[in-house]
Amino acid sequence: MMTEQHNDNQVVRRSAEQRYASELERLKAADTDPRPQGWQLSPRAVRRFILGDAALQVSRKFYGDDPLVDRAIVTLMGHQGLMLVGEPGTAKSLLSELLAAAISGDSALAIQGTAGTTEDHIKYSWNYALLLAEGPSRRALVPSPLFQAMEAGKLVRFEEITRCAPEMQDVLISLMSEKQLMIPELGGDARVHARRGFNIIASANLRDRGVHEMSSALKRRFNFETVKPIRDHGFEVELVMQQLQRELDAIGAAVIVRRDVVELLVTTFQELRAGQTREGTAIKTPEAVMSSAEAVNLVYAASLEALHFGDGTLRPRELANQLQGVVLKDNADDLKRVRHYFDTVVRERGRRDDLWKSFGDAARQLWL
């Protein structure tokens, strides 16, 4: 464990329990509701932590489907694990981090699923120097995050579980059913019994390449919740504005950001991912991720461009310049689809609106 103290301003990103430590303390002090065994907060307080409580000065951290948050909390009180599925960039990982921080006070117990994930990553491995010197012993054993969560009665996060090979995914079946982990190398009946509070939050993107179908047996061990993109235009604009301002404040960047410029970007993202304009015209949807999180990343990069290479005011030109980095990630055909959007939708709006005209002109000049 790192014990060296760092200046908070120099840390790129702290864990949720560190970022919101004061909010968690206020919630804990005011929490009079019953808590499930092993939980740091009651279910009602966990909900307040995620969705906000103005009276306790607790900020809202997850935007979108409030009933989904309620169902997720209820699931984690039961015997099934929680599976968050959905399009990339819909804040599945953020929600799992917030749930772990509020319930366990520790969001760092996480497994990142990849094609190279092995049983050792899921269960435990060995310190081979100690293993050779002493033989199998508890001191030589290196526990996985899941092992640690079972011992401590905490939540463990399994990110991108469907990127793991099916036989690795199925290692979880007996662990989730029996709530214990056998350690045959230590002999006898050596095992770890899960303490109250242990559960698994897994996440999976539905359309990414390299995804493996989960077995029916493993699916039964999870309750599935779909995290959907934000559809309310005004709500998404407000979210992007808030997140952008938070990012700019963190680095002390004074950029002039007009709301109508952000509204233009959100409209573009919503229409491209929905495959339909606000006027009802059907358009082709790119494979590239056009999520709220991607919109925040784009407008943040555009703001930095305006600050360092412009006059400090965010304009459609910077948005168009950064948009190519979003469009050209996945599929060369996406460029054709976005070109068609600019040649038809953006050009038509540009005849009536100077902002859309600037957006279209900049895109054609820079990269279309």
Same-domain pairing of 301 and 317: yes
If you average pLDDT over every residue of the chain, what do you get? 91
Q: Is the pLDDT of residue 41 over 90?
A: yes
Locate tokens 């366990």: which residue? Answer: 104
Same-domain pairing of 168 and 266: no
Report the 10 Å Cβ neighbour count for 8. Answer: 10
Question: How many angstroms separate the Cα of 163 from the Cα of each of 83, 158, 176, 359?
Answer: 14, 11, 19, 38
For the stretch 71-88, pLDDT in tens is 999 999 999 999 999 888
Q: Tell me what pLDDT residue 367 has.
A: 57
**Distance between CA 65 and CA 69 in Å, rounded?**
7
In Å, the largest CA–CA distance within the chain is 79
Instruction: Give residue 64's region: left, alpha or beta (phi > 0; psi -120 to 50).
Output: left
Q: Tell me what pLDDT residue 6 has.
A: 44
CATH number at residue 220: 3.40.50.300
Strand order in 199-205's β-sheet? Answer: 110-112, 155-159, 199-205, 81-86, 222-226
Q: Domain tally for the chain?
A: 2
- Look at strands 180-182 and 191-193 and give their pairing: antiparallel
Q: Which of 226, 249, 278 is the last residue of a domain?
A: 226
Q: Is the pLDDT of residue 8 over 70?
A: no
Q: Which of 173, 202, 226 is the last residue of a domain?
A: 226
CA 237 to chain centroid, in Å, comes to: 19
Same-domain pairing of 262 and 210: no
What would the mean pLDDT of 352-358 be, rounded to a whole number? 95
Q: How confident is the model at residue 140 (pLDDT cuts 50, 70, 90)?
A: very high
Question: Does residue 167 lie in a domain region?
Answer: yes
Report the 10 Å Cβ neighbour count for 315. Answer: 19
First to last CA, the chain: 50
For the stretch 162-218, pLDDT in tens is 999 999 999 999 999 999 999 999 987 899 999 999 999 999 987 665 688 899 999
